[in-house]
Amino acid sequence: MTLEPIAELQARFGQQGAISFAERLGGLVALLDWGGAQSVVALQGAQVLSYEAAGYGEVLWLSPEARLGTGKAVRGGIPICWPWFGPHPQGGDGPAHGFVRTRPWRVVSAHADENGTRLTLAPDGPPAHPAWPHTAELSLEIVLGTSLTLSLSTRNTGASPFALTQALHSYFLVQDISAAEVDGLQHVVFIDQLDPGALKSESGLVRIAGEVDRIYQDVIRPITIIDGSDRRIVIQSHGSASAVVWNPWIEKAARLGDMGEGGYRRLVCVETANAGADVITLAPGARHTLTAIIAALGR
């Protein structure tokens, strides 16, 4: 399948002052506007690259080295990890975090009204991979309103159940990681991915002073990022019992090689997920929707 050029997308889905299409970072993007808020969404991977909240500025971190169309996942924004989170679940030959974040997606619908600007995307062609012997329908609905809401919906179109893990891998922009704190995860047990097999918890706010890679289990509260600036970022979720907190710190950032100079200091990933023990089993015909609602608010 070939993707529609900008003019056709504009004619079919564009709406004055709300939805337009352009080329950015070497690929096609949708530009969403609503009530002073703006968002940029790449059709590659249905990846939100930017979310400017009205009055609070940019909420997401995006690598200065980000380029679309290289075959590699773009570092930053909100990549979609699907249908597995992390390495292939059976140790198979599939890419980390699944296979849809580098694929082309197409616009299914777009609509703007007094509640928000809404864009729905789906993979351009069935979301299939040799290392994943299942069939599914997948879509992402993005609503830009007083917050940014992402709903990733999976329906099992096959004849047998399958296990699904996934994440809306949000990279949040902070002033400086040394001042950043994550509230809402106190006493929540996490799998420490840097200490395999270890289950831990903390009584205080999460502070980051080194590499952190944790899958929090049974998360029930909204999670808030505070960074010493005059705003906080609040993340609510539905269809998710787990959240991943990740910062690569110095050595891993150097190994990854695509974060820019000192990039790790400006971000904390707080990912709305079905990961760790939070595995969704989808029966034939069943649907699961993973939703993240991201808002910037005053302190």
Nearer to ligand BG6, 18 or 73 (CB): 73
Asked if 125 and 102 count as a contact pair (C-beta separation under 8 A), the reply is no
Residues of span 133-162 touching ligand BG6 by CB under 6 A: none
State in angstroms the smallest separation of the CB of 43 from ligand BG6. Answer: 19
Q: How many other C-beta atoms can be found within 10 angstroms of the C-beta atom of residue 195?
A: 11
Rank residues 102 and 120 by Cβ distance to ligand BG6 and give the closer one. 102
Residue 193 is a binding residue for ligand BG6 (CB under 6 A): yes
Contact 228, 176 (CB under 8 A): yes
In angstroms, rounded to a whole number, what is the distance separating the alpha carbons of residues 273 and 26? 29
- The single residue among 4, 141, 213, 278 that binds ligand BG6, judged by CB under 6 A, is 213
Binding mask 39-78 for ligand BG6 (x = CB under 6 A): ----------------------------------x-----
Query: Rounded CA gap, 257 and 214, in Å?
Result: 21
Comparing CB distances to ligand BG6, the nearer of 277 and 283 is: 277
Indicate the DSSP class of residue 70. Answer: S
- Please report, as residue ranges, which positions from 217 to 256 form the binding site for ligand BG6 (by CB under 6 A): 244, 246, 256
Q: Are 25 and 68 in contact (CB under 8 A)?
A: yes
Report d(CA 65, CA 284) in Å as an integer.
41
Please tell me which residue in 23, 169, 261, 288 is annotated as part of the active site: 169
Asked if 271 is an active-site residue, the reply is yes
* Of the residues 97, 134, 231, 266, which one makes contact with ligand BG6 according to CB under 6 A: 97
Applying CB under 6 A, among 7, 11, 22, 96 the residue interacting with ligand BG6 is 96
E strands present in 54-180? 57-58, 80-81, 105-113, 116-123, 136-144, 148-156, 162-164, 166-168, 171-173
Nearer to ligand BG6, 97 or 118 (CB): 97
Q: How far apart are CA 274 and CA 288, in angstroms?
A: 11
- Asked if residue 271 binds ligand BG6 (CB under 6 A), the reply is yes
Nearer to ligand BG6 by Cβ, of 17 and 257: the residue is 257
The DSSP result for 30-67, as a single string, is EEEEETTEEEEEETBTTEEEEEEETTTEE-B-B-TT--
Catalytic residues: 169, 271
Contact positions vs ligand BG6 (CB under 6 A): 73, 96-97, 169, 193, 213, 244, 246, 256, 271
